[in-house]
Amino acid sequence: MTSEGERPIISPQRAVDLLLGGRGPVLQPGQVWLAGAGPGDRGHLTLHALCGLIQADVIVYDALVDPGVLDLARPEASLEFAGKRGGRPSIHQSDISARLVSLARDGRRVLRLKGGDPYVFGRGAEEALVLAGAGIPFRIVPGLTAGLAGLAAAGIPATMRGVNQAIVLATGHSAEGEDDPVASLDWAALARLGQPIVLYMAVRNLDVIARRLIEGGMAPDVPAAAISRAATPEQRLLVGDLATLPGLLERTPLPTPALIVIGGIVAMRDALGGLAAEAVAVLGTF
Ligand code: SAH
């Protein structure tokens, strides 16, 4: 036993070996791991994602990945940015998938690192389909998704007995090419469900989404919040209700990425705020 001050410094490799009992998965040459880094804070990284980071020859990463996470990569690993940045045109999805195939065919050990969870609104499934089609072996490394971990970071429970029995994770952005930005979802059906809705990629369309939910029968005074840069030091929260939140966001634009959460669970943060308060910068409660 060593005392607090004498604790030896160990490498990420040693930490992973210790914690996974030396049985961590091996990233093989020619293999791709589609991994999630969680939202914001690098502390959300799973041990399996860390395992991938310390083995990869190439890391193809997205904008939502905390750059501090990449410090854990091997010094000789090459880092390739494949995300959107500040509204500038992003690399086309098909080019990213093609790049993964080509790196794997070159025998590289490839880590495709995405924010949150790769299979939750992250286009990970599209990349996996291309890899499967090309016969490239791949592995999915789940991550904490923003819609759940981001809520917790803002002091909002995803479920609470007596408040909700389900939670809907939805996108506020239709597939490309559709005229109506939110046409793919039956908002009236979601309104009837009467359960909280967590919206990804919804800030731009919140006005029309709120209108459709209210037309579908959801009460305009259902609590609603926007969580910007959840689980990062820049986290900001704007709290209102379904009717007022779109206007509040227009007057006080929040930096992206941001989540919207609509439902009774939002009000729970008043009661739970105490402990979580330190982690939450509330921009305004209206
Ligand atoms: N695969 C990711 C989601 C990618 S879609 C996941 O599982 O979390 C991108 C959307 O995720 C953003 O538009 C935003 O709505 C949400 N998002 C991701 N990280 C976030 C963060 N740190 N804070 C708030 N929203 C976040």
pLDDT at position 175 is 67
Mean confidence (pLDDT) of the chain = 89
pLDDT at position 36 is 97
Residue extents of the structural domains in the chain: 4-144, 147-285
Q: If DSSP states are collapsed to H, E and C, what string results for the chain?
A: CCCHHHCCCCCHHHHHHHHCCCCCCCCCCCCEEEEECECCCHHHCCHHHHHHHHHCCEEEECCCCCHHHHCCCCCCCEEEECCCECCECCCCHHHHHHHHHHHHHCCCCEEEEECECCCCCCCHHHHHHHHHHCCCCEEEECCCCHHHHHHHHCCCCCCCCCCCCCCEEEECCCCCCCCCCCCCCCHHHHHHHCCCEEEECCCCCHHHHHHHHHHCCCCCCCEEEEEECCCCCCCEEEEEECCCHHHHHHHCCCCCCEEEEECHHHHHHHHHHHHHHHHCCEEEEC
pLDDT in tens, 117-163: 999 998 999 999 999 999 999 999 999 999 999 999 999 999 999 99
Ligand 1 environment, Cβ below 6 A:
39-40, 64, 114-117, 120-122, 145-146, 150, 200-201, 227, 229-232, 257-259
Residue 114 annotated to the active site: no
Tell me the CATH class for 4-144.
alpha beta
Mean pLDDT throughout 225-232?
94
Atom of ligand 1 nearest to the CA of 149: 8
* Residue nearest (by alpha carbon) to ligand 1 atom 6: 116
Mean pLDDT throughout 207-216?
96
Tell me the CATH class for 147-285.
alpha beta
Active-site annotation holder among 17, 160, 201, 268? 201
pLDDT at position 17 is 86
